[in-house]
Amino acid sequence: MSPLFIPSDYFRELRKEEIFPDPTRPLEVELGSGDGTFLVEMAREFPDRDFLGIERMLGRVEKTVRKINRTGVKNARILRLESAYSTAWLLPTNSVSRLHLLCPDPWPKKRHHKNRLVNSDEFIGGLERILEPNGEFLLCSIGLEPSNT
């Protein structure tokens, strides 16, 4: 199984076993996984869970693939795609036990607030759809004061 997850079809909802072979294991998703540090460390710390990172930047995805290969973890994969689309349409319904969103882009200017992932109806609806019953959404944000410009 390659650490780079490429869906066979980007235009239908996936089944959990398409991402990892055992659909009974908890699936945790990290949105905007950057260089993969958090993803790989979580996979090492919790070998009984599966971890999917979602990142749209190619260089970061390539770095994460190298990190997964170098560490040898088998329970981490990375998907190159936009986060809101992944949560709203691609990830399986009721499949994610925990979703991590660490330090999302704050878009601090008032005129840019519409670009914030967490302000998106598509994202919020997708979040509700993909989380298992009693699933968790963990948001860690740096405290920036929004600008009025």
Angle (CA) 44 63 10, round 5°: 90
Beta strands of 3-130 (E only): which ranges? 27-31, 50-55, 76-80, 96-102
Q: Is 141 helix (H, G, I), strand (E, B) or coil?
A: coil
Q: Which spans in 7-87 are helix H?
A: 16-19, 37-45, 58-71, 83-85
Of 9, 35, 48, 105, the catalytic one is 105
Q: What are phi and psi of 91, to 5 degrees?
A: -65, 150
Amino acid at 65: V
CB 129 within 8 A of CB 119: no
- Annotation marks residue 105 as catalytic: yes
CB 88 within 8 A of CB 98: no
Q: Catalogue the active-site residues.
A: 105
